[in-house]
Amino acid sequence: MHSIERRHGNYVISTDPERFDVDVFHEYLTTDAYWARGRLRATTDIAVRHSLLFGAYAPDGAMVGAARVVTDHATFGWICDLFVLPEHRRNGLGKALVAAITEHPELCRLKRLLLVTADAHGLYTGNGFETLRSPERWLERNGPTT
């Protein structure tokens, strides 16, 4: 699969894994993201290796936002670890990341694209996401937190 880039104002969103800054990603997740505080670097490294990565880059090339999608590239995808650094918020980057994911040529045809959020429902519902139609069918098994 080749990398895809798209512009959002002065920013670039790219799926190039060589450009993705794992240090910035891990630092934000373990210090600021309520869902990933305390995550081990080894866990982040494994997750990054096995995900389709989306990075948002400022004009100077620094990664200022990111998301990853766990997917089989055919039927299912799970959006996770989406964030924009605080100093780059209010520029529409979160919405641009979600749009880049939902419009990605391999992801837009998936039967199911899921995510979990405690506080960003508006970000996702504007891109076609809705609450589970049959939540009684879903089960989860919780494991270690890191």
Question: What's the pLDDT tens digit per position in 107-121?
Answer: 999 999 998 887 878
Is residue 144, in this structure, part of any structural domain at all?
Answer: no
Is residue 86, in this structure, part of any structural domain at all?
Answer: yes
Is residue 45, in this structure, part of any structural domain at all?
Answer: yes
Q: For residue 100, give every residue at least 6 positions away whose Cβ sits within 8 Å of its Cβ, in sequence order, or none.
A: 4, 6, 13, 15, 54
The HSE-up count of residue 4 (CA atoms within 13 Å, CB side) is 14
Nearest Cα to Cα of residue 70 among 52, 56, 92? 52
Is residue 35, in this structure, part of any structural domain at all?
Answer: yes
Range of the domain at 74: 5-137
Decide which of 137 and 98 is more confident: 98
What is the SS3 assignment for 45? helix
Is residue 143, in this structure, part of any structural domain at all?
Answer: no
Beta bridge partners, 69, equal 52, 79
- Quote the pLDDT of residue 146: 58
pTM: 0.91
The tally of domains found in the chain comes to 1
C-alpha 144/C-alpha 146 separation (Å) is 6
Among 29-38, 44-53, 54-63, 119-128, the minimum mean pLDDT is found in: 119-128
Is residue 24, in this structure, part of any structural domain at all?
Answer: yes
Confidence check: pLDDT of 133 > 90: no
pLDDT tens profile 75-93: 999 999 999 999 999 999 9
- Range 90-123 burial, b when 16+ CB lie within 10 A, else e: ebebbbbbbbbbbebebbeebeebebeeeeeeeb
- Quote the pLDDT of residue 134: 87
Is residue 32, in this structure, part of any structural domain at all?
Answer: yes
C-alpha 45/C-alpha 69 separation (Å) is 14
- Quote the pLDDT of residue 145: 65
Confidence check: pLDDT of 126 > 70: yes
Is residue 58, in this structure, part of any structural domain at all?
Answer: yes
Assign residue 64 the CATH number of its domain: 3.40.630.30
